[in-house]
Amino acid sequence: MVQKAKILLVDDRPENLLALEAILSALDQTLVRASSGEEALKALLTDDFAVILLDVQMPGMDGFETAAHIKRRERTRDIPIIFLTAINHGPHHTFRGYAAGAVDYISKPFDPWVLRAKVSVFVELYMKNCQLREQAALLRLQLEGGGGKAAIGEAKEPASLLAELSARLAAVEEQAEALSKQLDDESADAAAVATAAHLERKLTGLRRALDALEPGAGNTSTVPSQN
């Protein structure tokens, strides 16, 4: 069973958090509240999140400062941040949001459908990355030799194990391709398209490594020159 993704909602006003929960509940993911930048950073210490919705205007640590802390941490720097603001200060204010690491910048009141659609893209990318990590872990076990079979839970023949890994990887590749086509069709944000492209590059590398394990593949191949 696929585990639900977590979405972090950061706003100092309870009514805004309620509104966000109402809009995003249809995605059927786990919504986590934080009423301040400090509370958000604490939540990020222990949990992994698919995307962060971050209010800009908050007392104490505002959204820009919170985002700067998030991007400094190795664990959290790659989490997409969508800034939410009730005030439009013009291009300079928007540029500051992107400079702080935001992938998007939405002014309130926002269109619920648009916000839900944007968040769903990053949730899908997160889920694909989770699947990719699982496939990579299985592949590492096979590359490490005998310990892999026991860890997977069954003593399978190498050819059977490779076939299973290949089938699982093919399923992820198919989903990633469909997601990329969806992003192209919907003219999605550049950040989402770039993230999808990065996922496809990871899948390509994993497929090459798996193909190299096929019978006969290692007899004539050489070690790739690139890192």
Per-residue pLDDT tens digits for 66-114: 999 999 999 898 899 999 887 666 556 666 666 777 778 888 888 899 8
pLDDT value at 168 more than 90:
no
Residue 115 resides in a domain? no
Q: In the structure encoding, which two tokens stand for residue 172, read together?
A: 């992820």
Tell me how many domains the chain contains: 2
Of 110, 137, 153, which closes a domain?
A: 110
pLDDT at 96: 67
Residue ranges making up the domain that contains 162? 121-214
Q: d(Cα 125, Cα 192) in Å, to the nearest integer?
A: 8
2 pLDDT band, cuts 50/70/90, is low
Q: Are residues 100 and 184 in the same domain?
A: no
Residue 223 resides in a domain? no
Q: Are residues 182 and 148 in the same domain?
A: yes
CATH number at residue 85: 3.40.50.2300
Residue position matching structure tokens 């590359």: 143
Residue 219 resides in a domain? no
Residue position matching structure tokens 């030799």: 145
Q: Are residues 210 and 134 in the same domain?
A: yes
Q: State what percent of residues in the chain have pLDDT above 90.
A: 32
Residue 158 resides in a domain? yes
pLDDT in tens, 190-218: 666 766 776 777 777 777 776 766 655 54
What is the overall mean pLDDT for the chain?
77
Q: Would you say 204 and 136 are in contact if contact means Cβ atoms under 8 Å apart?
A: no
Of 90, 110, 130, which closes a domain?
A: 110
Q: Would you say 169 and 133 are in contact if contact means Cβ atoms under 8 Å apart?
A: no
Of 110, 138, 172, which closes a domain?
A: 110
Q: Are residues 102 and 158 in the same domain?
A: no
- Helix (H) and strand (E) counts in the chain: 9, 5
Q: Are residues 153 and 85 in the same domain?
A: no
pLDDT in tens, 110-164: 889 989 998 998 998 888 888 877 777 777 776 666 544 444 444 445 566 667 6
Q: Which phi and psi (to 5°) does residue 3 adopt?
A: -75, 145
Q: Are residues 173 and 102 in the same domain?
A: no
Residue 200 resides in a domain? yes
Burial 32-67 (b: 16+ CB within 10 A, else e): bbbbbbebbbebbeeeebbbbbbbbebeebbbbebb
Q: In the structure encoding, which two tokens stand for residue 224, read together?
A: 């790739």
Residue 40 resides in a domain? yes
DSSP string, 116-132: HHHHHHHHHHHHHHHHH
